Amino acid sequence: MAKRETNIELLRILSMFLIIVGHYIYWGMKNLSSYGSYDITQLSGGGTYFTMEPLWIISCIGVNCFVMITGYFICDKPRFRWKGILRTWTETAFYILLIGGLTRLYRPDIVSLKDIAIYLFNNGYWFVTCYIGLLAVAPLLSLIVTRLNKRDYLLVLLVLFIMNFQYLYGRTFAGDHSLGWFTFLFMVAGYIRRFPLPNFWMKHKGFTVLLIWGALFILASCYNLIKWKMMHAKFELVSSANDGMMFFLSVAVFVFFAYTKMEGKCAKMIAKIAPYMFGIYLIHMNPFCFKQMWMLIIPDHYTMPIIVHCMLWCIAILIGCAIIDFIRTLLFNFCRIPKFIEWLASKLPNLHINDKLIVYSNDSTEEYRDRP
């Protein structure tokens, strides 16, 4: 088993936390008209906007970073990810059956057995569907990653960027909830892993994150200011989709963590917590109950600053769901499900590609080996 990289695993945890924060804002606050717009001439409205808008912007990078982490770890392994596909589907099916069954037991009016069956075989999570698709095409993508020289790789990235970036061709070729977008993120992560980035960027990678984050906040505020001046509209929380301007912030944050080595007493704890992040997503965004959950969490009237309420609840969800997924892991281990998945994956056909690959980096030949 490959040694976990603490910096990337910390990014995995941060990405899932930001995903939860994004869901708090999108499915909670923005769904309620009373929290959807803010009068910045009032202290409460201005305070809420100028604290929650930067948080809303940074929260939108969670999905992109989560996908790039996968690409970063498997981009040099051109073989089918049967174990990953089977494990992902099994964990998803478990929570569909568990939460769907419990919801059916207590609220049979909103969940039917037909709904459970449909979500079991036609996944109710858009992310899981795209993620399994990404794992299925990962061998082909890995072959491209390991064999292109730097110039050709940049050309491929440029073509994929033009096809996928929201503001160029819209959603003609793909979209932020599509396999096409996940493929592009995989290739970006592969480039970051294979080729050195400019020294200036590496030297100022933290400043680059703050610069892009601040620029996006200024753009959102200018958009609100124009609406306020022209139409007397209140300020609202503004951000782009995953395949929009958030892409640049996602890459900057990913590079920051990928090139920042982190060791110390927290490394072991981070390595232990990180594997439960996917389960946290499956639990808190279960299709049978997530809308009702967010309606219960968002109060009619806040008795504390909204950002404090948001942080407390999102941390609680992260910890609570991690504990639930830890229990699920114990149950799976007791039932020897991981062993069965490993056995089944070993029986499925795979690509016959030598571990020793020849790749071309910066127009020179070098030996490239799979990590263990």
Residue 359: what pLDDT? 42
| Residues spanned by the domain of 61 | 6-369
Q: How do residues 137-170 score in pLDDT, each as one tens digit?
A: 999 999 999 999 999 999 999 999 999 998 888 7
Is residue 211 in a domain? yes
Retrieve residue 40's tokens. 């910045």
Q: How do residues 213-235 score in pLDDT, each as one tens digit?
A: 999 999 999 998 998 888 878 88
Retrieve residue 282's tokens. 């499956």
By residue count, the chain amounts to 372
Q: How do residues 309-332 score in pLDDT, each as one tens digit?
A: 999 999 999 999 999 999 999 999
CB distance 157 to 129 below 8 Å: no
**Can you state the angle between helices 62-74 and 246-258, rounded to 10 degrees?**
50
Is residue 57 in a domain? yes
Instruction: State what percent of residues in the chain have pLDDT above 70.
Output: 91
Range in 37-41, 196-200, 205-209, 307-311 the model is least confident about: 37-41
Is residue 162 in a domain? yes
Is residue 268 in a domain? yes
Residue 46: what pLDDT? 84
Residue 131: what pLDDT? 94
Is residue 1 in a domain? no
For the chain, the straight-line distance linking the first and the last C-alpha, in angstroms and rounded, comes to 6
Is the per-residue pLDDT at 363 higher than 70?
A: no
Number of domains in the chain: 1
Element (H, E) at 364: strand 364-369
Q: What is the DSSP string of 273-338?
A: HGGGHHHHHHHHT-TTTHHHHHHHHS-SS-SS-HHHHHHHHHHHHHHHHHHHHHHHHHHHHHTTHH
Is the per-residue pLDDT at 183 higher than 90?
A: yes
Q: Could you tell me the pTM of the whole model?
A: 0.89
